[in-house]
Each structure stands twice: as C-alpha cells, then as structure tokens.
C-alpha cells in the first residue's frame, strides 16, 4: 500500500490491508484461493498484497450438502471446510462487517467477542451473500425456522427425531398428528430438497418405532407460484412433484401463508382449513445482504450490486462484488442466478482481477455458462439437467452427489463425505437425537434434558 495511504489511516484504523474481502462463503473464499495462487506464482521480488478476509464463521459452508446434513446421510461437520486450512497467507478475522465508509475506505467490524475494530483497505471485495426474505406475516418470526445455515440443518434433524420420540409416547391421535406435521413454505431448491430428505429419513426411522408409522406424518409444501424449482426443466419439476406426491406430500400451489401464530397455519386459500403444524420451515426466497445498500453502493431494485464482467462494481474504483449479493451479467444474456456454482467462479474472476490490479495476473472476464442443476429427493432419487440433457432417478441422484463431491475443497473432506455415503448405503441411519449439543447442563442441573423439561 502506498505510504501516503497508510498515513491517511493513522489513528483511524486498528488494522490496514491492501485487500479486504467481506464474507467467507463461496464468492469470498474462491476469490482468495485465486488471489493466493497468483501471489504464490509471482516472482520473489514482486510486492504481495496484504489480504484480510472477514467472515462470520471460520468455515466455508458447502450449502448444497445441507439437506443431507439435515437428514443424517452426512455428518454435519463434513459439509464445511475450515477457512484457516484453505488460506495460507491471508489473515482471517472472525466477525461481521457492520458498515463500510466507501469514501475513507474504512470498514467497521464487530469481532466474535463483540469488540469493534476498524480496518482500512485499498481494494474491497464484497461477498456477504444473501439472507432469507421475510415478510410481516403474524407468527412467522416466532414460530418458523429458516434453512440456510448449519445450525438450521442440525436443528431440523434433531427436531424430527424429538417429534418422533414425543409421538411414540402419545396415544392421542390429534396430538400425534400435530407433532408429526411439517410445513415447508417455498418450493425452491432448498425447500424441496430439505422436505424430500427429511421425509425419506422419517420413513426409514419409523421402522424403529412401535407407535409411529409413515402415515402418521403430514408433509405440506406451500408454494406461492404455480410450479416448483424455478429455472429447472418443466419435466423435471413435474417429476419431482409426482415423486413427492406418491410419498404422501401435499402440495398447495399459488398459495400464500398469511399467519402462523401459535403454529396454526393459515393460508390465503380458503379451501385449506387452518391446521396446527409443530414445525414450519420458511424457504420462500433470499434477498441480498443489506451491507452494500447500507454502505451506499449502488444497487438494483432487488438490492444487488451491479458489476461488469470483471466483477468490478460499476462506477467505483477498487471495489468488486461477487455471489448472491451481486448482479453479474450472464454470458447467455440476462443476469446470473444466485447459485454456488456461479459464486465460486465469480469469486475466482474477482481474485484474478485483484491480482491484476497488483500486477500479478492478467484480468479475465466472466464467461461461465451454467452446466446444469441437480436436485436430490431423498435416498436414491433425484433429478438433474446437465448440458441440456435431463436425467431422473438413481442416475440423477448420483450425478448430483458426484458433482458436489468434486467441487468440495480438500481431499480429506471428500474422502470423509464418500465414507459417510458408503456407510449410509450399507447401514441404517443414526437416529440419536442430539438436540442438547452445544447446550451443556449447569453443574447443579440433571444432565438429562428430559428432566430439565419436566422441571419447566
Ligand atoms: C439449503 C441450500 C441449498 C443450496 N443448494 C445449492 C445447490 O445445490 N447448488 C448451487 O449451486 N447452489 C445452491 N445453493 C445456493 C448457494 O449456497 C448460494 O448461491 C451461494 O452460497 C452464494 O455464495 P456467496 O458467496 O454469495 O454467499 P454465501 O456462500 O452465503 O457466503 C456469504 C458469507 O458471508 C458471510 N457474511 C455475511 N454478511 C457478512 C458480514 N457483514 N461480514 C462478514 N461476513 C458476512 C456469511 O456468514 C457467509 O459465510 C443452496 C443454498 C441453500 C441455502
């Protein structure tokens, strides 16, 4: 960094860097992987930029594998990769960027201990991803859960198992039905995969319960439009629906959730009587992180930052944006969808661009063309659309899994995933309910959660 710049930060910044990356997801991490690869190849005499990556977690979450973590076919730890073990020369700051002053090039960060620090930068890469879109629906915040993070997936698995345990010990059919009613709102990829995986798990689990059968469950999908899985071939969307209907899933299209106070689901479709659903999962869309908008970067009407084919933010020098928060021109026309496969390639293009800014690489435009989409619908069933061809059933399921395995960074992690899958094919699922994990009992409390519940 030029001396004059450093001096201008004196007294105002706790740390300074040449490149600040915000977000340790697909976009941010792959940007850094690319940048580091150019730094490694550069001659010894070349000046290497100091890079800081700020991320809320110290791991990269491989979200396409979340539904499998929720259904127990994959150990949750195996769908994340520790960022510190991917990056070599980059400094990782565990925390949240709360604001960016684009004029003075200062970012304010709240670290994991709640302390505030200010980081000065020369080049900025924005990759904070997206957050669930929520609407002012009565009861939504209090009673619905999202499906976006590892805790969400772990919670959902434990929730299903806890509901099964509770249902096993009741002989009241109404109470049992309520306990085993799962409603998913939003039939996109996350919603459909999570529902399908959980339903598949519940059917296997029932074999180990005496007082619960698959017909005791009620699985409901509420979707605001007339079809599922936006962007996928129509035939495949229909196939997914038919497969799930055969398994007993109810679909309500062109329907909106209007209230879920006390877990009573009310929709705008008068033909669906309000019903009690002990578990409500909200997967009705994502919106870009508000960080860019709040930091006065120009965004479109969806809140995404407009960038060019090199991932440079329009009209602001030295700022890049990638992934779900960015509006990236698609080489086939229009704008790229918010997917991991796009975010990681956009990250690489931004990383190369930043390397080019420091004379370490030649800039390249984004020219990735979507290769395909794959959806898992539970053990052994899926749909896939690859290079324009469509596949269904076991082949599609395996294709989707293989693609995710190849894209997962790190050989050790890939082997662990492969191991989980092989064990899952040969043996029954693990039905241990571990909802107490991360909530150790106080020394003076009984260890068992059941006793703690009885006391309440
Ligand atoms: C359940 C689920 C299944 C999915 N399945 C697929 C799939 O099969 N195929 C596919 O291609 N895509 C899939 N996606 C979409 C894909 O995960 C996203 O498109 C992708 O993660 C976007 O990458 P990103 O880097 O923009 O954001 P993310 O990967 O979400 O990363 C953003 C990171 O930034 C951090 N962050 C946010 N704000 C701040 C801040 N202010 N300061 C510091 N850090 C911050 C976040 O904690 C996060 O770690 C799925 C998504 C979900 C939720």
Would you kindly state where each structural domain of the chain is located, as residue ranges?
Answer: 3-131+287-357, 140-284+372-426
pLDDT score recorded for residue 64? 95
Residue 293 binned pLDDT confidence (cut-offs 50, 70, 90) = confident
pLDDT in tens, 123-168: 999 999 999 999 999 999 999 999 999 999 999 999 999 999 999 9
- pLDDT at residue 453 tops 90: no
Give the atom of ligand 1 at the shortest distance from the alpha carbon of 337: 19
CATH 3.50.50.60 fits 3-131+287-357, yes or no: yes
pLDDT score recorded for residue 456? 40
Say if ligand 1 is within 6 A of residue 288 CB. Answer: no
pLDDT score recorded for residue 249? 98
Give the atom of ligand 1 at the shortest distance from the alpha carbon of 326: 26
Domain 3-131+287-357 shares a fold with domain 140-284+372-426 = yes
pLDDT score recorded for residue 375? 95
**CB-facing half-sphere around the CA of 416: CA atoms within 13 A:** 14
SS3 96: strand
pLDDT in tens, 210-228: 999 999 999 999 999 999 9
pLDDT score recorded for residue 4? 52
441 CA distance to ligand 1 middle (Å): 33
pLDDT score recorded for residue 452? 53
Q: Please classify residue 48 by burial: count the beta carbons closer than 10 Å to its beta carbon, then call 0-12 exposed, 13-18 middle and 19+ buried.
A: middle
Give the atom of ligand 1 at the shortest distance from the alpha carbon of 28: 25
- Residue having the nearest C-alpha atom to atom 27 of ligand 1: 129
pLDDT score recorded for residue 166? 97
Counting other chains too, the contacts that 245-249 makes at CB distance below 8 Å and 24 or more residues apart are 247/199, 247/203, 247/219, 247/378, 248/199, 248/214, 248/215, 248/217, 248/219, 249/195, 249/199, 249/219, 249/220, 249/221
Helix locations, 326-445, DSSP H: 340-357, 393-407, 411-426
pTM of full prediction above 0.75: yes
- pLDDT at residue 439 tops 90: no
CATH number of 140-284+372-426: 3.50.50.100
pLDDT score recorded for residue 455? 40
pLDDT in tens, 321-338: 999 999 999 999 999 999
> Are 281 and 273 a contacting pair, CB within 8 Å?
no
22 CA distance to ligand 1 middle (Å): 12
pLDDT in tens, 22-42: 999 999 999 999 999 999 999
CA nearest 31: which of 238, 271, 310, 233? 310
- pLDDT at residue 10 tops 90: no
Q: Please classify residue 202 by burial: count the beta carbons closer than 10 Å to its beta carbon, then call 0-12 exposed, 13-18 middle and 19+ buried.
A: buried
Please state, for a pLDDT cut of 90, what percent of the chain lies above it: 86
- pLDDT at residue 341 tops 80: yes
CA distances from 109 to 59, 81, 274, 294, 298 (A): 18, 23, 44, 14, 21
Two tokens at 209?
Answer: 């319960």
Distance (Å, whole) CA 346 – CA 197: 30
Residue 454 binned pLDDT confidence (cut-offs 50, 70, 90) = very low
Say if ligand 1 is within 6 A of residue 340 CB. Answer: yes
Residue 2 binned pLDDT confidence (cut-offs 50, 70, 90) = very low
């Amino acid at each position: 960094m030029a001396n004059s710049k450093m001096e201008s930060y004196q007294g105002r910044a706790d740390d300074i860097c040449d490149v600040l990356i915000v977000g340790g997801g697909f976009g941010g991490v792959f940007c850094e992987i690319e940048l580091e690869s150019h730094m490694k190849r550069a001659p010894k005499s070349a000046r290497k930029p100091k890079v800081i990556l700020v991320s809320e977690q110290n791991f990269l979450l491989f979200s396409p594998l979340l539904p499998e973590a929720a259904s127990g076919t994959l150990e949750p730890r195996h769908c994340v990769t520790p960022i510190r073990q991917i990056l070599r020369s980059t400094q990782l700051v565990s925390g949240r960027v709360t604001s960016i002053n684009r004029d003075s090039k200062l970012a304010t960060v709240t670290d994991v201990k709640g302390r505030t620090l200010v980081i000065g930068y020369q080049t900025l890469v924005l990759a904070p991803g997206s957050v669930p879109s929520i609407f002012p629906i009565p009861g939504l915040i209090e009673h619905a859960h999202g499906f976006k993070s590892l805790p969400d997936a772990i919670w959902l698995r434990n929730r299903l198992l806890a509901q099964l345990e509770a249902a096993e010990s009741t002989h009241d059919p109404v109470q049992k039905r309520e306990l085993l009613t799962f409603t998913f709102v939003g039939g996109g990829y996350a919603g459909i995969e999570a529902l399908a995986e959980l339903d598949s798990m519940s059917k296997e689990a029932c074999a180990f319960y005496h007082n619960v059968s698959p017909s005791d469950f009620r699985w409901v999908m509420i979707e605001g439009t007339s079809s599922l899985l936006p962007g996928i071939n129509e035939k495949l969307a229909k196939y997914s629906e038919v497969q799930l209907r055969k398994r007993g899933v109810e679909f309500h299209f062109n329907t909106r959730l209007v209230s879920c106070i006390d877990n009573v689901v009310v929709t705008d479709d008068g033909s669906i009587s309000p019903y009690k659903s002990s578990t409500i999962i909200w997967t009705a869309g994502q919106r870009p992180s508000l960080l860019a908008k709040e930091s006065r970067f120009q965004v479109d009407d969806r809140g995404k930052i407009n960038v060019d084919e090199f991932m440079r933010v329009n009209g602001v020098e030295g700022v890049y944006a990638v992934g779900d928060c960015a509006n990236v021109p698609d080489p086939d026309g229009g704008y790229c969808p918010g997917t991991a496969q796009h975010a990681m390639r956009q990250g690489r293009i931004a990383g190369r661009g930043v390397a080019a800014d420091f004379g370490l690489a030649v800039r390249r435009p984004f020219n990735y063309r979507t290769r395909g989409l794959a959806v898992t619908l539970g053990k052994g069933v899926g749909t896939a659309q690859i290079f324009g061809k469509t596949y269904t059933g076991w082949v599609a399921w395996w294709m989707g899994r293989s693609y995710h395995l190849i894209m997962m960074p790190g050989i050790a992690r890939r082997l662990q995933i492969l191991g989980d899958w092989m064990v899952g094919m040969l043996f029954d699922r693990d039905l241990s309910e571990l909802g107490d994990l991360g909530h150790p009992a106080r020394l003076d409390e009984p260890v068992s959660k059941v006793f703690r519940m009885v006391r309440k």
